[in-house]
Structure 1
């Protein structure tokens, strides 16, 4: 069994070995956020009006009471995060699926950038505050986990590629075990993110909606 100290040391060594991949995915994520924010400015009048109406209805539902069914939301959020980490794990061991990992990271950034950009564009400071409480808490865990999982997936796929086609020897069993163990740890963190999104975020959203927006 690994101790926490050994786990921390292994994690640092992993980051150092794959720093270029990690930085690449961080840049991809930031690019996604940037393009998402820019996309808000490219919406047509009809599209923006539709989103504004949806946002208004959303705030009305929050006014006065918390309407989200938290147990159902928790199941959906946790299940979504587990599916995501499983998908990244599969893409890593498949080799050919490796290019999809940066796309997933970019899309996650794009969605966040679009959501925050739209809220700020429509509600200015109030929109920014709402974005902070509705998006930031669970994504403090989810985004780093996704980027680290993506880094591990790409690194694992590259090593498999080198082993198969360049005849570079690797201890596959040991490497696969380490890769899968890391994914399990990240899955636990993503479950935590899902629980935060389900139980803490709605409370913060309701508070901001009642005290700041209305």
Structure 2
């Protein structure tokens, strides 16, 4: 209980200290979603037709007996998420990598906005339901973990900047340990997200797909 209380207290203090960075990244993420949804409207007729054909083919595949290799999919999903957080962790270790972190957050938002926007644009309410089933479950963990890791990366890089150029005193070894520990905890959360994406999301997608096809 003590350890959980301590972790919760430390997390709250971390958020308070870096609230401006957190708000900045949330705005960046929302901007990515907005631009992604707008990009759907800018697709040419041929591009949209190609995506519609792919979507139709996907639904027909899912309608049949689709054999999912759970172990391989789990490894792929977890590895993808871990690569993302390792990239953010690495960029946070260098001052020059700091501007790239918001770009990662923006691109994640853009992809989500585009996917949701396209499904809603083509399938209306059914598209929204399918988007919630296929995108929401694992992203409930992925998005907060990505944003918090990005906050930590920018904060760490910013403190390195202050230490080097403004001679701001910092215990690098202790700060690095705290930074890496936080990233490790977030990596565990992202691994859980990969498991959800592999075992829960396909079940929800299958149920929603049957409803869409019947409708």
Fold shared per TM-score above 0.5:
yes
Cα distance in 2 between the residues matched to 1:66 and 1:178: 44
Q: Deviations over 1:89-126 (max 9, x none)?
A: 00001111111100000000000000000000000011
User: Aligned residue for 1:136?
Assistant: 136
For 1:31 and 1:127, how far apart are their aligned partners in 2? Answer: 21
Secondary structure (helix, strand or coil) at the match of 1:170 reads coil
- 1:69-89 per-residue CA deviation (whole Å, 9 max, x = no partner) reads 222111110000000010000
Following the alignment from structure 1 to structure 2, what is the Cα–Cα distance between the partners of residues 136 and 114? 14
Q: Could you tell me which residue of structure 1 aligns to residue 11 of structure 2?
A: 11
Aligned to 1:149: 149
Report what 1:205 is aligned to. 205
| Aligned CA-pair RMSD | 1.0
1:161 and 1:16 mapped to 2: Cα distance?
A: 20
1:169 alignment partner, SS class:
coil
What TM-score do you get using the length of structure 1 for normalisation? 0.97
TM-score normalized by structure 2?
A: 0.97
Unaligned runs of 5+ in 2: none
CA deviations over 1:8-44 (Å, ceiling 9, x no partner): 1000000000000000000000000000000000000
Structure 1 residue 165 displacement after superposition: 1.0
Q: Match for residue 81 of structure 2?
A: 81
Aligned residues: 213
> How is 1:48-197 mapped onto 2 (pairs within 5 angstroms)?
48-197=48-197
Instruction: Give structure 1 stretches of 5+ with no counterpart.
Output: none
8 Å contact from structure 1 (residues 126, 213) kept in 2: no
Match of 2:37 in 1: 37
User: Which secondary structure state, in structure 2, belongs to the residue aligned with residue 96 of structure 1?
Assistant: helix
* Contact kept? 1:64, 1:210, Cα under 8 Å: no
- In terms of mean alpha carbon deviation, does 42-51 or 71-80 score higher? 71-80
8 A contact 1:142–1:193 mirrored in 2 = yes
